[in-house]
């Protein structure tokens, strides 16, 4: 009973545009264009359009929904970040350093460098003393928009019911992000339904896993999204 549209974002597959110059906000505008197109179709119930976004796509879905309260009926956030992008990147780096069992001194050095890079990306100054290849990799519109992204004010502007789905083995966007998003959603002035689903044994890709680490992805025997994900989304949207 659902019509589902999946698409390649700009610069990917047969979609036009340039990926390297796009921002999260640009991706959200693309979603709004898609919603406008969907509303014109005779086979679409334009009173029941939902957005489902995974990881960065969750941020994109929230931004789009915050600007289209009349045209978007509900939001599904899958493994989506619940902190500022800058904090998420540092959290991911700390976890990577934990896995490498780096010394405390080396750990501090690497985190200091990452903080300097992020400050330089956000402010446009401070690249002195950093290797040029760091700037080439990090000083992009997309990375700047990711660092700047803060889900709290965006969620506050949304008015839709929200489903949050989180794999509890996620080592890219850790499970506490789901609970932070739920807290933000429940604090909104408009008390719309908020549901959180934690999936044990599921990683960031929403695939059953053992450790959930990124290094495990290539060796997973089962590489299909857990069927529970689609079931939970369908149950939520029917309600």
Q: Is the full-model pTM beyond 0.75?
A: yes
Return the DSSP state at 39: H
Residue 16 has pLDDT above 90, yes or no: no
| Closest C-alpha to 58, from 88, 81, 38, 36 | 81
Higher pLDDT, residue 230 or 19:
230
Task: Categorize the per-residue pLDDT at 97 as very low, low, confident or very high, splitting at 50, 70 and 90.
Answer: very high
**How much is the pLDDT for 18?**
81
Residue 168 has pLDDT above 90, yes or no: yes
Question: Which structure tokens are listed for 239?
Answer: 């309600």
Helix (H, G, I), strand (E, B) or coil at 173: coil
Which is it for the CA torsion 134, 136, 139, 140, positive or negative? negative
| Closest C-alpha to 203, from 211, 195, 212, 194 | 212
**How much is the pLDDT for 222?**
82
Task: Categorize the per-residue pLDDT at 204 as very low, low, confident or very high, splitting at 50, 70 and 90.
Answer: very high
| Closest C-alpha to 118, from 155, 147, 78 | 147
Residue 234 has pLDDT above 90, yes or no: yes
Cβ(80)–Cβ(173) below 8 Å: yes
Helix (H, G, I), strand (E, B) or coil at 138: helix
Percent of the chain with pLDDT over 70: 100
Residue 80 has pLDDT above 80, yes or no: yes
Q: pLDDT, tens digit, for every residue of 111-153?
A: 999 999 999 999 999 999 899 999 999 999 999 999 999 999 9
Q: pLDDT, tens digit, for every residue of 37-78?
A: 999 999 999 999 999 999 999 999 999 999 988 899 999 999
CA torsion 38-225-24-111 (nearest 10°) is 170
Task: Categorize the per-residue pLDDT at 232 as very low, low, confident or very high, splitting at 50, 70 and 90.
Answer: very high
Q: pLDDT, tens digit, for every residue of 207-222?
A: 999 999 999 999 998 8
């Amino acid at each position: 009973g659902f019509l589902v549209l999946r698409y390649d974002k700009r610069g990917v597959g047969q979609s036009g545009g340039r990926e390297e110059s796009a921002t999260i906000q640009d991706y959200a505008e693309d979603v709004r264009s898609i919603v406008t197109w969907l509303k014109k179709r005779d086979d679409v119930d334009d009173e029941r359009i939902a957005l489902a976004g995974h990881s960065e796509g969750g941020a994109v879905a929230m931004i789009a929904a915050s600007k289209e309260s009349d045209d978007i009926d509900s939001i599904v956030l899958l493994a989506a970040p619940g902190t500022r992008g800058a904090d998420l990147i540092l959290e991911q780096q700390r976890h990577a350093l934990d896995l490498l069992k780096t010394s405390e001194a080396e750990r501090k050095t690497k985190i200091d460098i990452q903080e300097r890079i992020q400050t330089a990306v956000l402010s446009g100054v401070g690249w002195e003393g950093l290797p040029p290849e760091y700037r080439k990799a990090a000083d992009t519109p997309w990375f700047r928009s990711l660092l700047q992204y803060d889900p709290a004010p965006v969620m506050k502007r949304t008015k839709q019911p929200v489903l949050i789905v989180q794999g509890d083995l996620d080592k890219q966007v850790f499970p506490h992000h789901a609970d932070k998003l739920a807290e933000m959603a429940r604090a909104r002035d408009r008390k719309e339904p908020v549901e959180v689903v934690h999936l044990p044994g599921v990683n960031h890709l929403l695939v059953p896993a053992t450790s959930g680490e990124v290094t495990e992805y290539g060796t997973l025997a089962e590489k299909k999204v857990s069927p529970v994900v689609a079931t939970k989304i369908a149950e939520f949207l029917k309600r």
